[in-house]
Amino acid sequence: MFDEPLKLVLGLVTGIIFGVLLQKGQVAKFQKLMGQFLLKDFTVVKSMATAIAVGTIGVHALVALGLAEIHIQTASLARVIVGGVLFGTGLAIFGLCPGTSVAACGEGRRDAMIGVLGMFVGAGVYVAAFPALQPMIKAMADYGKVTLPQLTGTSPWLWVGGLVALIIIALAIIERIHPKQPDTKL
């Protein structure tokens, strides 16, 4: 029923830091997320891309040092494509994603609390529909828990370097076009 206490404490501390970051980044707000999808406000992309660039370097360094392992999901085409379409659709309707909706609840937003209730129901639907979903999931190819370097037989550092460079260039361009965030109506 429960993980060991140390893990629970570490999870809580990690979550508190994550919650503060999401709240200060203003990404726990409907207007900011929809502003991103409508390509007006680039706060979400700026913070996510920076997180990826910084994260990928450290995580791959930890893996190279043998201090951590890669933990990824299986590349089942049906899972990621059907799931991705449903996820994007639901997100655009709700206006908050799973992590940011929980943070928005912390801000005291009533609509986020109702949405999180919906998320709980959605998770219940998945568990109950698990057997019924299997034929759909098995209908398409599954490439397994594979990374891009493994798939292409190349060094992960080539990808890390390329990804970081790409993000720096993309952010520099975005910063030129959208130097300051518009005064989003919150």
Compute the half-sphere exposure of residue 76: CA atoms within 13 Å on the CB side of its CA: 14
Q: Given candidates 2, 66, 135, 153, which one binds other proteins under the rule CB under 8 A?
A: 2
Least Cβ distance, residue 166 to other proteins (angstroms): 12
In angstroms, what is the minimal distance from the CB of 13 to other proteins? 7
Task: List the interface residues with other proteins, window 108-167 (CB under 8 A).
Answer: 108-112, 114-128, 130-131, 133, 137, 143, 145-149, 151, 156, 159-160, 163
> At CA 175, angle to CA 171 and CA 181, rounded to 5?
120
Residue 31 lies near other proteins (rule: CB under 8 A): yes
Q: Does 172 bind other proteins (CB under 8 A)?
A: no
Which of 12, 140, 165, 169 touches other proteins (CB under 8 A)? 12
Question: Which of these, 81, 86, 80, lies nearest to 145 by C-alpha position?
Answer: 80
The residue count for the chain: 186
15 three-class SS: helix
Q: Measured between alpha carbons, how far is 86 from 119 in angstroms, rounded to an integer?
A: 13
Query: Residue 161 is inside which H or E element, if any?
Result: helix 156-177
- Shortest gap between Cβ of 137 and other proteins (angstroms)? 8
Instruction: Tell me: does residue 48 bind other proteins (CB under 8 A).
Output: yes
Candidates 9, 64, 140, 173: give the one binding other proteins (CB under 8 A): 9
Looking at residues 87 to 106 of the shown chain, list those that interact with other proteins (rule: CB under 8 A): 87-95, 97-106
The whole-angstrom separation of Cα 37 and Cα 87 is: 13
In the complex, minimum distance from the CB of residue 135 to other proteins, in angstroms, rounded to a whole number: 13
Euclidean distance between the first and the last CA atom of the chain, given in angstroms as a whole number = 40
CA angle, corner 87, sides to 12 and 161, nearest 5? 70
> Could you tell me the smallest distance in angstroms from the CB atom of residue 165 to other proteins?
14
Asked if residue 170 binds other proteins (CB under 8 A), the reply is no
Residues 57-86 that bind other proteins (CB under 8 A): 58-59, 62-63, 67-77, 79-86
